[in-house]
Amino acid sequence: MNKVKKQLESYREQFREREYKMTPQRRLILQTLLENKEQHLSAEELHALLKEKDSEIGLATVYRTLELMEDLSIVHKLNFGDGRSRYELCQPHAEHQHHHLVCLRCNRILEVKEDLLQQLETLIEREHGFQIFDHRVSFYGYCSDCQKGGTTGEDANE
């Protein structure tokens, strides 16, 4: 069984556990997210990719399915301040989610796999008696490609 099929079966089980069916549309949405897991797709971007595979799938179906998958902890809904919600698959068995670098010029989103905040979490828990389960961090700036173009700062937004 290839990796995508194995992951799809795992997600099917998550649907079953909560008494939801894995419809053909849900399966196609999950498969497309798996095939594009390095991207942070908006519902509209996901819909455009889905239309290439199934011209009948509607944007409302995509929105409803993403909402359900968020409730089932299959996807995370992310906001990078660009007016669009974006989605990525949850990483099962990950202690923390990764962090993001967001380019203010080209809107590219890069992932930072390293989690360097463990010491800070320990300090916060000890000093404030606050139990931390997760954190999310996004850094905003200019990617190396946009820096090479020589356009950073306020002139980048013109």
- Tens of pLDDT, residue by residue over 128-153, are 999 887 677 778 889 899 998 765 54
Percent of the chain surpassing pLDDT 70: 87
- How many Cβ atoms sit within 10 Å of the Cβ of residue 153? 9
Name residue 42's beta-bridge partners.
86
138 neighbors 102 (Cβ within 8 angstroms): yes
Burial class (CB in 10 A: 0-12, 13-18, 19+), 146: middle
Strand, helix or coil for residue 154: helix
Q: Residue ranges of the domains in the chain? A: 3-89, 99-157
Architecture of domain 99-157: 2-Layer Sandwich (3.30)
Where are the alpha helices (H) located in the chain, listed in sequence order?
3-17, 24-35, 43-53, 59-71, 118-128, 144-148
Please name the residue that has the structure tokens 């000093």.
Answer: 127
- Tens of pLDDT, residue by residue over 43-87, are 999 999 999 987 889 999 999 999 999 988 888 888 877 788 889
Do 3-89 and 99-157 show the same overall fold?
no
- Tens of pLDDT, residue by residue over 93-122, are 555 567 778 788 887 877 777 767 778 888
pTM over 0.75, yes/no: no
Amino acid present at 54: D
User: Does the structural domain 3-89 have CATH classification 1.10.1490.10?
Assistant: no
- How many Cβ atoms sit within 10 Å of the Cβ of residue 38? 9
